[in-house]
Amino acid sequence: MLTPALGTRLRVLLDAMDADVALALSDLGLRDYRTRYSAYIRAVAAAPLPIRDIAERLGVTHSAASQTVAEMQQRGLLETRPGDDARQRLVELTARARDLLPAIDAEWESTEAAAAALDAELPYSLSALIDDLAAALERTRFRDRIAEAAKTVVTDPALRATLAEPR
């Protein structure tokens, strides 16, 4: 039997956890709501922010944040207005999102507590593992690790040479 690749295994776990968060949100009445929206709503709950700042706080690209904000605008959760600089747009909650905030916060706090309990149940901290993995990949990106491994495991010289020289 073929063992699923690391990426597949991680995606399956993340998808399962995300689906359960979505179920909790649905139980709270938030249907047709993507789990990632909560982080955006919480980011701007205290005060409007430019998309650049939201992206930084959430650790996503400006493009990803901009796309999610646009999607959330279409769903009536966020709105934008001009900032101090004519090029800047500030993102803020709509009245609908403010009404949903207590449920979103309840799910968020419950999910954080569940994650902490899961961490305590494991023989090692999942949070620490994620931080350590991110640090290791920052030191040496995964593509470079593939290149190094190809030098010893790929027998075809042309394929080995192609994999061993990342672009």
Q: Do 47 and 54 meet the contact criterion of CB atoms below 8 Å apart?
A: no
Average pLDDT taken over every residue of the chain: 94
Query: What's the pLDDT at 1?
Result: 65
Residue 81 buriedness (CB in 10 A; 0-12 / 13-18 / 19+): exposed
Q: Which residues pair with 89 in a beta bridge?
A: 82
The domain spans of the chain are 6-121, 124-167
What pLDDT digit, counting tens, does each position of 121-160 carry? 999 888 899 999 999 999 999 999 999 999 999 999 999 9
CATH for 6-121, among 1.20.1280.290, 1.20.1250.20, 1.10.10.10, 1.10.490.10? 1.10.10.10
Q: Is the pTM of this model over 0.75?
A: yes
